[in-house]
Structure 1
């Protein structure tokens, strides 16, 4: 199996757009968290305490995403010859766990305590002011995230794009902001009903509702992050493009098939099964492989490593049949 001496296409600085979105969300969440805790101390609202913790957890999450983005851009080294792209997937998974463990867990705990030992709400005016300001900042961050997702998803639906994305950063922020806006609405309703009906338990139930929203968001994020972390194939569009470009290289009779692993948002490892012309010698095949690498590089494909295995179509089909039957040693 032949492989490149250097990455075919080094990781780009594509993360600048992601960083802008994460920084915007971080700035909003830090300020909102402080305001929510102040309002909660003034009014004694369990829902506002839950919302404060929610914003605090989101702030920590944004810091972890920024750290993951920076780590994923580190160049390959002797211990990580294919780069550090999956660092972003790891930290995205940690973010999902934090949303569940800290955000949803604390909101549920606070809500249940307030239901079992209700305390009357004091003047809720501060809550309404903070919720309104929070909605403005969260809405701005949500809009920025939404526009970024719309630019990337093309004609796909939002859920289809979420399931197919190889870059969890923007979707993570969008999910967090969506959950935050839903949490603000639930908190506002809980504060209003608790005060209007003079039943402080409703404020506790609002906190439980916030916990449910956070748990659902966490489950979706964890599922997608896990799939990327353990290794997904690249998009079908990239597979088709790799095969089409490399098959045109002189000396290549046909590309039998391709295996890919997504290593990061714009970092892919590719293994090609290729049939070369019969008259080619080993040095000629090596030169042909270099031209295949150059063709992929010129096309600016997100490939950090390209491996080529000389193989007849019959051998490829036989191996594929063995793999389909569960014999992964056939690789």
Structure 2
């Protein structure tokens, strides 16, 4: 059987550059070299694409004279690297998880792991995600949106009257809790707003929900597999960047979550409906709040969730019977399945 030529794309220009590298390390460790030839492609923080001189380890290639520079053509082709069968875009956040790289790969007609351009872009934008989920009758927290030109005119009293305290301030197009703050008064509110606007031109202020933080992993295309739910119990009040990636004791992860069968089914149903409503494919992690009265609110959807050794996405699937190695194999197969389906579409009308 011919080995597949895999491009493992990591790094990127986002604030989650280092997280991407940790995720790529974990994926590289389980790629079966009997099945795959692996090309390590590093996107430096300045946007330069570099091909590692070997495929032994994930590392920052910025300034590495032995790394081969790749030229990205408007056609989407990578000059100096031909014949990729599948790309795994292990990129979190902007310039990667938001549909930009997916669009490039679509133009190049290269199969890739994860959601398509449309769903990647929509899920990255927390405001657009909320709007679409509301149309599907899926509960989301109340929120107010502010754009960059409005940042000096935000009326704290009006926001508090609508959302109450505490509340969360978030950059709309960021992941991994980058730039997210929990605020309890006017002073911390304005500091949080200034911080969030450092990372995006749109900022969302969201009401706090009192409930259990539950996450579910979804794997598949037309008929996705839904994992058992896991619960996050953060030590510092919310699931921050440090809790996710740096501090192994920053949050307690309960996998599977201690829930009755009916609640598990309800959570899995909401995850499935959310995955479908946002046109997701391949994979996504659906983050939810379970309130005391049983209501379920979707917080956000991650189209390329973290793959580090302490990340929830692979841990939840492992608890559901899908090993890390099998997960990567299935994601590659799903990418090829979708590409084959789309390749059969007619593009010539006349």
TM-score (structure 1 length as normaliser): 0.22
Higher RCO (CA 8 Å, separation ≥ 6 residues)? 1
Structure having the larger proportion of residues in strand: 2
TM-score (structure 2 length as normaliser): 0.21
